[in-house]
Amino acid sequence: MNTKITNWGGLRVWVIGASSGIGAETARILLARGARLALSARNRDGLQIIAAEHSETLVLPLDITDHASVITARDRIVASWGGIDLVLVVAGTYSRMRADDFDLAIAERMVDTNLRGPLNCLDAVLPTLLSQGHGGIGIVASIAGLSGLPNALIYGPTKAALINLCESLYLDLRPRGISVYLIDPGFVETPLTAGNEFKMPALITASAAANELLRGIECGEFHIHFPKRFTNWLRLLRLLPYRWYFWLVHKATGL
């Protein structure tokens, strides 16, 4: 569904959310495979650790919710490289929330980071990609965006919006020569999931997640989801009538 990538050598890749978790591991793998990287996140120190042995790597700290900082980083990349071959929007946040502990301030922060942040990135990179007529953009959503789940009262809807966004982007951009990747992880060992007090089924490391992410991009997939032993189960549940779906989720989670 997308252009396959057989060689990362020299490709210009911007990883947004590269200081920890899946983004950091993805950046490390890409650097090892010879890609030219621009690394962005709020944590400058984390970015510099990853870039320490790669002097040509661009370290561009930003807050994804700050439109001006995203545009500034884009301008520096284009000035340095003349274009961008792939943008990976990995940055996101998670806070456990259920209806009986709804917190509007926390909900708005999740919406700002998980939805408005990627929109800021789109505003920054779409003109460059469209003018080039080639390249790609990948957005990390979550398998939790497929359907309503306990503890994901706001997180799930923000990721559901990204799933819909990527589907629409694909329809608009693929005919223009631009690849679009919808990336839906299951449970991954990251700082965001470290505080979960429940057993996370099919939990995988950030390194394993990064390898799955890049394998999907290399194969030209649109929907990259992992680990499939868990994500395919949730995809199947989504096809059931609500009566069965709600019963099975309650049975599986006890919530």
Tell me if residue 181 is catalytic: no
Catalytic residue among 155, 170, 242, 245: 155
Tell me the CA distances in angstroms from 35 to 7, 27, 28, 199, 205, one per residue in order. 9, 9, 10, 36, 23
β partners of residue 89: 16, 139
Picking from 106, 66, 113, the residue whose alpha carbon sits closest to that of residue 89 is 113
**CB within 8 Å of 236: residues ≥ 6 apart:** none
DSSP state of 147: S
β partners of residue 145: none
d(CA 112, CA 107): 9
Tell me the CA distances in angstroms from 15 to 80, 137, 171, 188, 192, one per residue in order. 16, 10, 23, 18, 18
Largest Cα–Cα distance of the chain, in whole Å?
56
**CB within 8 Å of 87: residues ≥ 6 apart:** 13, 14, 16, 121, 125, 129, 135, 136, 137, 138
d(CA 66, CA 69): 6
Burial class from Cβ neighbours inside 10 Å (0-12, 13-18, 19+) for residue 106 reads middle
The catalytic residues are 155
